[in-house]
Structure 1
Amino acid sequence: MNAELLRIGDDIVAMHAVVTDEGVTLIDAGLPGDRRILQQALAAAGRSVSDIRGVVLTHGDSDHIGVAEWLRSEHGVPTYVHEADAGRAQGEKTPSASGGAMRLGPTLQFFAAALRRGGLRPKHLGEVRTVRDGDVLDLPGSPQIIGMPGHSAGSIAIRVPAVDAIFVGDAITTRHVLNGSSDVQVGPFSDDPDATPGSLERLRALPEREIVVGHGPIFHGTAAEMLAVLKR
């Protein structure tokens, strides 16, 4: 099967598309104002929104659900989220975790991007399909669900061997949105950051060589190599 990984957005907030002969799976959904950049990225790959078969969320935070409700309500695209984060994605639960230490420049960049891309007006989902640890979804790329509680109770990693990648959402970051640090580290705004390193151990033996985060550049290496440099 031919498969391509598209990165859409930037190191502040990104979503990703797995593009195959069977269609497109969107991993996370950016910010609400990201419709145009999604459409442009798909068009550059010879695809369109009509090729998206599903959105899979690494967790239910507002900077990951972005365009998912637009895709669901206007294009019939289902969104999949772990059952423990379904309420979060639908606006029934509000995260309250601290972001940690800040630096003025990176913090302003993050909030400016959120403002420009509609992040202050989140579009929560009217309907979701729930997943559990161990599920393999009938979507392009056959994404595999790995439970990763820590950032949120329903955080997951999404393994897609077809593009040699594991998507970890905000379990880790390679660009801290509040202080600009490029260290590989546990993501900010985590409900239970002490649980995340243990959850990441579930990935250690996997062979994929792209660890894809929601904020920051892709980590080029295996999960074991990523764990070796993780700042705790």
Structure 2
Amino acid sequence: MELAPGLRRIGNDIIAVHLIVTDEGMTLIDTGLPGHYADLTRELAALGRPLSDIKGIVLTHGDSDHTGFAERLRSELGIPVYVGSGDAARAMGEKPPSPPKDRRRIGPVIGFFAYSIRKGGVKMPPVKEVVAVNDGDVLPLPGAPEIIGMPGHSPGSVAIHVPAVRAVFVGDELTTRSVLTGETGPQPAPFTDDQAGSSASLEKLAGLDVDFVIPGHGPAWTQGAPALIAAYREAEAARR
């Protein structure tokens, strides 16, 4: 699905993958679950572009519902996989800490896990080789993605700012639709290692001039970063 010229969305509001499309090649932001590989190939067929046009994968963090088919592209096509240095081990298979006891509603939880199973989430191959990135790096990939360190959801979580499409990808540093409760709007994301750190990291988005703030779960936000942060703070305060 096209969000804007050069910006494609694969998947849905439960789990999403994004593609930066330029004449020189493409950059993939996150890789969802293994079953999203088929969705990617269908999207590329519609664009008339081969898999080899993907020049790199940039992960917002190393959780398994974001690394899904990264190893397949890396091993079969030699496509490099970039991830925040603090999450390199997680992307390569290290188990994250036990998740916090987030609020849950039975319907959304069943929907999330049923979708995950349908998309191959039972067996999640780790990435065997990654390229570690850090705050301030500009990657040599289509769209020239800029890395913004955003520790909190995980130690190596990053936001990926792509000025070419006026978008910033924030992974699970926040969500606009909780997979555990179904609640919509900007809010703290579930399964977060350090919620206080995640909340503080959000301020790094404040000065960005973007049309899209895009989480890994939930719809893209199109009302600007300051309004997103304000809405997030309201949701955060309501939980106290």
TM-score by length of 2: 0.94
User: Residues of 2 paired with 1:214 and 1:36: CA distance?
Assistant: 18
User: Residues of 2 paired with 1:21 and 1:119: CA distance?
Assistant: 33
* SS of structure 1 residue aligned to 2:60: coil
Aligned to 2:67: 65
TM-score by length of 1: 0.97
Cα RMSD after superposing both structures: 1.2
Question: Alpha-carbon deviation of 1:99?
Answer: 5.2
User: Residues of 1 paired with 2:56 and 2:231: CA distance?
Assistant: 33
* SS of structure 2 residue aligned to 1:149: coil
* SS of structure 2 residue aligned to 1:184: strand
Aligned to 1:50: 52
User: Residues of 2 paired with 1:158 and 1:200: CA distance?
Assistant: 13
Q: Deviations over 1:171-227 (max 9, x none)?
A: 010110011000310110000011112111011011012000100100112211100
Match of 1:14 among 13, 16, 27: 16
Aligned to 1:218: 220
Aligned to 1:23: 25
Match of 2:144 among 142, 145, 149: 142
The share of aligned pairs that are identical, in percent, is: 54
User: Residues of 1 paired with 2:67 and 2:101: CA distance?
Assistant: 19
Match of 1:202 among 187, 191, 204: 204
The amino acid of 1:215's aligned partner reads H
The amino acid of 1:72's aligned partner reads R
Q: Does 1:133 align with 2:118?
A: no
Q: Does 1:157 align with 2:163?
A: no
The amino acid of 2:186's aligned partner reads V
User: Residues of 1 paired with 2:5 and 2:24: CA distance?
Assistant: 9
Query: What is the aligned length?
Result: 231
CA contact (8 A) 1:3 1:162 kept: no
Moved more, 25-34 or 43-52: 43-52
Aligned to 2:100: 98
User: Residues of 2 paired with 1:159 and 1:139: CA distance?
Assistant: 12
Q: Deviations over 1:111-155 (max 9, x none)?
A: 001101011211100100000100000000000000000100000
Aligned to 1:120: 122
User: Residues of 2 paired with 1:170 and 1:116: CA distance?
Assistant: 21
User: Residues of 1 paired with 2:97 and 2:71: CA distance?
Assistant: 19
Stretches of 4+ aligned residues off by more than 4 angstroms: none
User: Residues of 1 paired with 2:130 and 2:124: CA distance?
Assistant: 16
